[in-house]
């Protein structure tokens, strides 16, 4: 029996996999086998991923992995799912920082208030907003250091009572 056209296409489209990188932060990366490809060195691929996990730029990650920018671009063409993996890895430092912030809230009341000032500005913000009646709303925000600078410069005159 002769294989069908669909069967031949399915077999032709599936490239040979050199190895699979498994990580809890992203889906499995199936690294394609290719003659003389830099990514056959698993260590280079893992260093590339490690660099993205600390939110490195593409150039920094390439230097850390020991590859060129053109090699990286070709790797991304061959491994289309890698752009998603890069994005997921780049979010890790923010997630870790957020976890530390939440841990710090538990034991530090001042830190808790600072967190709320930034997270729930409408309710806890230190800045004041002044609204004027009419067609236009004017929001005036001057921090204390800015007020001090303006006073020193003579540009801000405090009203006399």
User: Over the stretch 57-87, which tens digit does the pLDDT of each residue have?
Assistant: 999 999 999 999 999 999 999 999 999 999 9
Q: Is residue 159 part of a domain?
A: no
Residues of the domain holding 142 = 124-153
Instruction: Looking at the structure, tell me whether residues 112 and 64 fall in a common domain.
Output: no
**pLDDT digits over 101-132, tens only?**
888 888 888 888 888 888 888 888 776 666 66
Query: Residue 119: what pLDDT?
Result: 85
pLDDT higher than threshold 80 for residue 29? yes
What residues have CB less than 8 Å from 3, skipping those under 6 apart? none
Same domain, 50 and 106: no
Q: Do 33 and 106 belong together in one domain?
A: no
Q: In whole angstroms, what is the distance from residue 46 CA to residue 20 CA?
A: 11
Structural domain contains residue 2: no
Tell me the pLDDT of the chain averaged across its residues.
Answer: 83
Residue of 15 and 141 predicted with greater confidence:
15
Residues 31 and 98 in one domain: no
Is 80 exceeded by the pLDDT of residue 94?
A: yes
Question: Is residue 76 in some structural domain?
Answer: yes
Per 3-state DSSP, what percentage of the chain is helix, strand, and coil (rounded to 5)? 60, 10, 35
Residue 140 CB contacts under 8 Å (≥ 6 apart), including other chains: 128, 129, 130
Q: Between these two residues, 25 and 121, which has the higher pLDDT value?
A: 25
Per the structure, the count of domains in the chain is: 3
Other CB atoms closer than 10 Å to residue 156's CB: what's the count?
Answer: 13
């Amino acid at each position: 029996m002769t294989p069908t056209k669909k069967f031949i296409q399915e077999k032709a489209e599936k490239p040979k996999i050199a190895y699979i990188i498994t990580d809890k932060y992203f889906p499995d990366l199936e690294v394609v086998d290719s003659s003389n490809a830099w990514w056959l060195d698993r260590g280079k691929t893992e260093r590339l991923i490690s660099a993205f996990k600390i939110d490195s730029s593409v150039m920094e990650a390439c230097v850390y992995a020991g590859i060129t920018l053109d090699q990286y671009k070709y790797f991304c063409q061959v491994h289309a799912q890698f752009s998603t993996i890069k994005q997921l890895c780049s979010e890790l430092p923010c997630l870790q920082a957020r976890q530390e912030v939440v841990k710090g809230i538990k034991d530090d009341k001042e830190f808790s208030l600072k967190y709320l000032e930034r997270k729930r500005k409408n309710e806890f913000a230190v800045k004041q907003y002044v609204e004027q009646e009419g067609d236009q709303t004017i929001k005036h925000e001057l921090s204390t250091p800015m007020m001090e600078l303006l006073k020193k410069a003579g540009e801000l005159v405090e009203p006399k009572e």
